[in-house]
Amino acid sequence: MERIDWDTPLSAFPGVGPARQRALAKLGLERAGDLLTFYPRSYEDRTRSYPVAQAPVGESVCVEAMVAQPPRLSRIRRGLDLVKTRAVDDTGALELTFFNQPYLQNALRQGESYVFYGKIDLVGGRRSMTNPVFEPASRRKFTGRIMPRYPLTQGLTNHLLITLAQAAVEACAGALPETLPAPVLERYRLPGAGEACRQVHFPESWAALEAARSRLAFEELFYLTVGLSLLRKRREAGRGTALNTGDPKDFQALLPFSLTAAQRRVLDECARDLCAGPPMNRLVQGDVGSGKTAIAAFCLWRAARSGAQGAMMAPTELLAQQHYQTLKALLEPAHVVVALLTGSQTAKEKRAIKAALAAGDIQVVVGTHALLSQGVDFQNLALAVVDEQHRFGVGQRSALAAKGVHPHLLVLSATPIPRTLALILYGDLDVSVLDELPPGRQPVETYLVSERYHQRLYKFIDRLVEEGRQVYVICPAVEEDPEEGDPTLKSVEQYAQYLTQTVFPHRRLAFVHGRMKARDKEAVMAAFAAGDIQILVSTTVVEVGVDVPNAALMVVENADRFGLSQLHQLRGRVGRGKHQSYCVLVSNTQNPETRARLKALCATTDGFRIAEEDLKARGPGDFFGQRQHGLPQLHLADLSADMRLLAAAQRAAQDPYLQRPEHQPMWDRVRQLFQENPDIFN
């Protein structure tokens, strides 16, 4: 092929036809340059080489040996071919077996020496390898070194990815522009961009790999920190509307309950922000039931009392309706006009609400994404409240804020995030924590059981429903997947059918999942909230949903398939009323680490402790997996393991010399990295 450069399409590479090109595109790989930042997920140590007799059993190693007999091809049955042969060296013989690779009968030549890499087994006292990687001993390319293992999709092999990456790295890594300022490279003794790229894909040693990984992770954290500090500086330089009318004691008199000490503390923090010059940008974190809505109600009341308007955005229509009812009941006695705006309203209703908003006749509006639509104009939007922040991106936050002139922003999240992580995820926000539940709330009793307890569990469900309670049953899949190969994996549609026909034909049961039309989902959830459905079988779409105080049992099937923080969110769907509530985690897993994780959930209801456990056990995947907050993706940095690297990156990002003109390319890169949210720096 012709000379490779950064923009060479992968279709120009040998061995990449239309089918492989489509498979590569699924991984985001279309040009040679894409391969440079497509980092390996793990590595194989092919540097360890042994004579046959000394090769350690049960370990993957390299063995150099000569093929001693012609390979034999056997057809065991349709769809199963075996190629067998024996290789020898001065110390002994190695039995080799290859499944479904009939071409190897001619590829391996008797009398030639090869290097075989694979796991050594002992069968009948003889050393053997099954499906080893091999190559001629005289032309080593894939053995005797540390080899990368890349993320794959159907139709691609690791061997193909290695071949493509080698060609791209050899051709393009040397021309990679340096993205870190020279003083940062020198101060922290980091390898250059090209060297780091080469070593992270094809490391010369484990030390070289660690140096390369550290440099690339440092770079991700450095640019994330620089970008967030720029956001914060821009925000602090803006002038918000001072909302200083309304004594917090007057607001507390409107409440039918007493505030907790944590709520009073956060209320004071918000009150200080609302009075100050720069617009408030505050994240309020707290478990389900910790009283975040009361904080939002106070801020909206303060905006209305100050002659301005406030808007609250929720991720679903049902949740928006729920907030609307709560705020209407709370604020209308104080002569605050509250309205609801959602996509399902009639055109006439929407027109009337939009006109009243533009005229300033509505002081507080609650809605879904409909609030972001064109034609929704405010007379004086001074406060935007975003509920369940992880369901919205930074761009959507910005779009709502753009409806006013530097409005205050209050972000609510029931997803507990360790504080160290929250400061990164929400580095442009001040963080408040509601770490106290209102008095009288009973903790949800949580149990871990195996599948053999199902009959007892069904009886318990039936008893609770007979008492008038409602039940959630959560499954990890929407429908059965034959490729999953796990007969115990519960899917919503099949399990709901089984429960309806076999276990609970006398109960009102329905199911809901993310592939349903939004209108159908909302209808099922509304029926459950109204008590018309007694048992709801669902995927995790109910993780953020309607408040159903009558729901007293959360059953999670195949609980080992979920992260701890997600299980804690699901558990938060029950225990919201006066009845004792329960959460039952069903799992047959025998993995000791997984069982310890699930038992940790049974032992505590503290969401922040659970989040810390999840971060330790799983890394930041739960928090960074979907990237819905819209910040640049972290490919290599692991916030559970790279805290020292993070501290160094934050120190480097604060150095005054970065303001010098010669570092303008760095600021250009910051904007490029945050480009998926074009309004973020406006």
CATH of the domain at 578: 3.40.50.300
Same domain (yes/no): 551, 608 = yes
Is residue 193 domain-resident?
no
Does residue 618 register a pLDDT over 90? no
201: three-class secondary structure by DSSP: helix
Nearest to 673 by CA among 229, 196, 6, 227: 227
CB 388 within 8 A of CB 315: yes
Considering only residues 82 and 289, tell me which one the structure prediction assigns the higher pLDDT: 82
CATH of the domain at 63: 2.40.50.140
What are the beta bridge partners of residue 535? 471, 509
Same domain (yes/no): 501, 384 = no
Domain with 35, as residue range(s), is 1-45+145-175
Same domain (yes/no): 373, 415 = yes
| pLDDT tens-digit readout, 26-58 | 999 999 999 999 999 899 999 999 999 999 999
Considering only residues 369 and 198, tell me which one the structure prediction assigns the higher pLDDT: 198
- The average pLDDT across 164-176 equals 92
CB 628 within 8 A of CB 388: no
Looking at residue 542, its pLDDT comes to: 78
C-beta atoms surrounding 24 within 10 Å:
24
Same domain (yes/no): 21, 150 = yes
- Residue ending a domain, among 572, 592, 624, is 624
| pLDDT tens-digit readout, 324-366 | 989 999 999 999 999 999 888 899 999 999 999 999 999 999 9
Same domain (yes/no): 97, 115 = yes
Is residue 98 domain-resident?
yes
Residue 629 pLDDT class (50, 70, 90 cuts): very low
C-beta atoms surrounding 109 within 10 Å:
12
Least confident of 99-113, 309-323, 461-475, 662-676: 662-676
Considering only residues 455 and 679, tell me which one the structure prediction assigns the higher pLDDT: 455
Give the predicted TM-score (pTM) of the model. Answer: 0.62
Considering only residues 224 and 534, tell me which one the structure prediction assigns the higher pLDDT: 534
Is residue 271 domain-resident?
yes
Looking at residue 60, its pLDDT comes to: 93
Cβ burial of 45 (10 Å; 0-12, 13-18, 19+) is middle
Mean pLDDT (the chain) is 86
539: three-class secondary structure by DSSP: coil
Nearest to 59 by CA among 47, 72, 71, 69: 47
Is residue 64 domain-resident?
yes
Looking at residue 213, its pLDDT comes to: 92
Does residue 604 register a pLDDT over 50? yes
Least confident of 134-143, 220-229, 386-395: 386-395
Cα–Cα distance between 416 and 424 in angstroms, integer? 14
Structural domains counted in the chain:
4
Cβ burial of 197 (10 Å; 0-12, 13-18, 19+) is buried
Same domain (yes/no): 584, 514 = yes
DSSP state of 368: S
Looking at residue 88, its pLDDT comes to: 96
Same domain (yes/no): 378, 501 = no
Looking at residue 621, its pLDDT comes to: 41
SS3 content of the chain, % helix, strand, coil (to 5): 40, 20, 40
- Residue ending a domain, among 99, 126, 144, is 144
Considering only residues 437 and 364, tell me which one the structure prediction assigns the higher pLDDT: 364
Residue 625 pLDDT class (50, 70, 90 cuts): very low
Kindly give the pairing relationship between strand 364-367 and strand 309-313.
parallel
Looking at residue 392, its pLDDT comes to: 57
Same domain (yes/no): 62, 125 = yes
Residue 677 pLDDT class (50, 70, 90 cuts): very low
Looking at residue 17, its pLDDT comes to: 92
Residue 667 pLDDT class (50, 70, 90 cuts): confident
Same domain (yes/no): 418, 274 = yes
Looking at residue 426, its pLDDT comes to: 60
Does residue 397 register a pLDDT over 70? no
Least confident of 56-65, 79-88, 167-176, 471-480: 471-480
Residue 460 pLDDT class (50, 70, 90 cuts): very high
Looking at residue 146, its pLDDT comes to: 93
Looking at residue 405, its pLDDT comes to: 83
Cα–Cα distance between 209 and 211 in angstroms, integer? 5
Is residue 209 domain-resident?
no
Looking at residue 283, its pLDDT comes to: 85
Does residue 403 register a pLDDT over 80? yes
Is residue 631 domain-resident?
no
Residue 627 pLDDT class (50, 70, 90 cuts): very low
- Report the amino acid identity of residue 98: F
- Report the amino acid identity of residue 507: R
Same domain (yes/no): 279, 381 = yes
Residue 481 pLDDT class (50, 70, 90 cuts): low
Is residue 190 domain-resident?
no
Looking at residue 633, its pLDDT comes to: 64
Kindly give the pairing relationship between strand 381-386 and strand 309-313.
parallel
CB 66 within 8 A of CB 112: yes
Is residue 648 domain-resident?
no
538-552 in b/e form (b: 16+ CB < 10 A) is: bbbbbbbbbbbebbb
Considering only residues 319 and 673, tell me which one the structure prediction assigns the higher pLDDT: 319
Cα–Cα distance between 469 and 463 in angstroms, integer? 9
Same domain (yes/no): 169, 269 = no
Same domain (yes/no): 476, 383 = no
| pLDDT tens-digit readout, 496-547 | 999 999 999 999 999 998 888 878 888 898 899 999 999 999 988 876 666 7
- Residue ending a domain, among 124, 156, 175, is 175
